[in-house]
Amino acid sequence: MKVQFYDGDPINGTQIWENQTIASINASENKTVSVFWNTTGEGGDNIIWVVVDPSNSIKESNEENNKAKKSIFVGALNILHILQAKTDKNVYFEGEEVHRKKCKSLVKQNI
């Protein structure tokens, strides 16, 4: 049985990852299905929908209970930016001017 996740309403939203599959599910039974969701650029409130049997290929007494939604808040990613600085000398006297020789970032991460 096919299971799909959407960021936003399934009609106009964006499907998250690929279709997932569960072998079978009985009435009133629970199954766990998960997907990977890249939240880059998705900060703030998001409504995530899950749709089971989206094409209604399984005969059921109630086809209206195959969708569910949940509001999920994605917070901002805080990164501590670390710099490494090298100077022209190892020891300085009080009041002496410090000259930077080299400075580079120790964090190499794209957000």
- Among 107, 108, 109, 1, smallest CA distance to 54 is for 1
**Residue 48 falls inside a structural domain:** yes
CA distance 1 to 29: 14
Ranges assigned E (strand) in 8-105? 14-21, 44-52, 67-74, 83-87, 100-105
DSSP letter, residue 90:
S
Asked, for residue 37, whether it belongs to a domain, the answer is yes
Q: Answer yes or no: is 26 within a domain.
A: yes
pLDDT in tens, the chain (111 residues): 999 999 999 999 999 999 999 998 888 888 999 999 998 888 899 999 999 999 999 888 888 889 999 999 998 776 666 666 777 877 777 777 877 677 666 665 554
Contacts of 71 (CB under 8 A, 6+ apart): 45, 46, 47, 48
Per the structure, the count of domains in the chain is 1
- The pLDDT of residue 64: 86
Q: What integer pLDDT is reported at residue 86 of this predicted model?
A: 76
For residue 10, what pLDDT is reported? 96
Q: Per the domain annotation, does 84 fall within a domain?
A: no
Q: Strand, coil or helix: what is 48? A: strand
Q: 41 lies in which domain range?
A: 2-74
- Supply 85's token pair: 């600085």
pLDDT at 97: 80
